[in-house]
Structure 1
Amino acid sequence: MSYPEYILTLSCLDQRGIVHRVSGFLADHGCNIIDSAQFGDAQSQLFFMRVHFSSEDVAVAEEGLRAEFAALADTMQMQWQLHDAYKKPRLMLMVSKIGHCLNDLLFRYKSGLLPVEISAIVSNHTDFYQLAASYNIPFHHLPLAAGASKEAKQAQEAKVLDIVEANNIDLVVLARYMQILSPAMCTALTGRAINIHHSFLPSFKGAKPYYQAHERGVKLIGATAHFVTGDLDEGPIIEQDVARVDHAMEPDTLTAIGRDVECVVLARAVKWFVEHRILLNGHKTVVFK
């Protein structure tokens, strides 16, 4: 018999008995814990927990489970969420003219490696509309001219947010979307937008960062996936990785290696998000892998 499964995530001030009270609550409500992870941060004095469980008592409905856990959470001042483990989160991908991350995420989605529904692809260029069509995903071309006015940018971002709302998007992925989001846009997408960038920032800004890195003779290149905030490329970091390079490699080789790392790092971050493994801890993250 198949039972409903849920993922509970929570954070609160670290205190005695949190695991006992949460596990006891689940046991008292006919739930069986499948896996559990927790972490107490001595610096922030916060406690974080992720519990994957099945609900095996048919008399306990999800609404009742939520309502009764809310009462427990209030007594401990918890920030918490309860997710249906079988529900696939809905994604919107944003891209400009460099498509390696987009292509990688689409392949992972189509092959079942990424348990999501990709509901829309948004771009300020038309380069990937045929790729979107090959996956039968709606493509939205929302151009934004170089040097566009503040009003034009606001209008374009309003259309992006309309797509987010119309499609009930859970996560926006900036898969090499080369436009800086306004503070208002970042606020609207707080905690549900992930960006990827090469790890040279702020050393190599602007065009062709891997060529700049080659000129400086770097020995490590890498990528960082992070939540989007109003502080450009400084949001809470979710995942990072590096690859070693050497003097014999041409700039194009560095670029190819760097793009491979970007794809892997972004895919990990997205997968962990949709599996509800990421909890915010101030300007940092807790990731239960």
Structure 2
Amino acid sequence: MGQLLFRESGMSQPPRLFDPALIGSHLARRPTRDNFVRDLVFEDLADRLGAYMRDFAKAVLIAPDVDLLPTTVATASGAVEFTPVEAFGGSDFPDLPDGELDLVVSLLHLQAVNDVPGHMARLRSRLKPDGLLLVAMLGGESLTELREAFLGADIAVSGGASARIAPMAQVRDAGGLLQRAGFALPVADVETHTVRYANAFALMAELRALGAANPLVDRSRRLATRSLLTAAATAYQDAAGDADGRVRATLEIIWLAGWVPHESQQKPLRPGSAKVSLSDLLKKD
């Protein structure tokens, strides 16, 4: 995941870990736009929005392949009509109006953003007071099997290790991102899925379809050789293969929800404002 620095006047720019243009290029060259992971996350979004008793008159959905996703999702109080925005459309930040939106949803994008708190703060500025930001991003426990398989294969084939799987956020840090970006009532939770593929090559193809095939700026410029890929696939099969020949992959989705501050929102009590002390309560039978 990108360097977790909030961009402020006078502060140095965070380092560029990810190459969004490369991700866009990967997406454009895919033989197919089918993607199980994208569709799985959108189904989870629909379930989550269904629990909100709230009208969102102006809503934006930012996602890869956003034109393949539905533009209408139901909440507990009615339908939400999304304006779709392509996540990797060539610009660092989408062209959104300031302070006019009720809801911004970002799916499978922020794990490839270099300045995550700064990006989230810019999203906050596009929301009205009491507007909601919902984020789904790949978490740090995702693809651990593939990461370890490539590490062992690199050492065995070339005698050294190269970064081939992008770093991702840990859930323990995710809630703090919302607070640093200025959101109130932050919530972070995780959905962990075990996904099965025919083999490691099928998993790699799925990652390419998501545009996630090694988007690092500081990546090896040498193409992965057939011997390296074969070694990685063999190591993967040995470590995470099932009796039927298929392989398992861990997919961790971190969900974040935060609201733009508003006077109507619940606020914590001031320290010392309690009317009854804990010691008095403990004395009672």
TM-score (norm 1): 0.34
Normalized per residue, which structure has more strand? 1
TM-score by length of 2: 0.34
Higher relative contact order (CA 8 A, sep 6+): 2
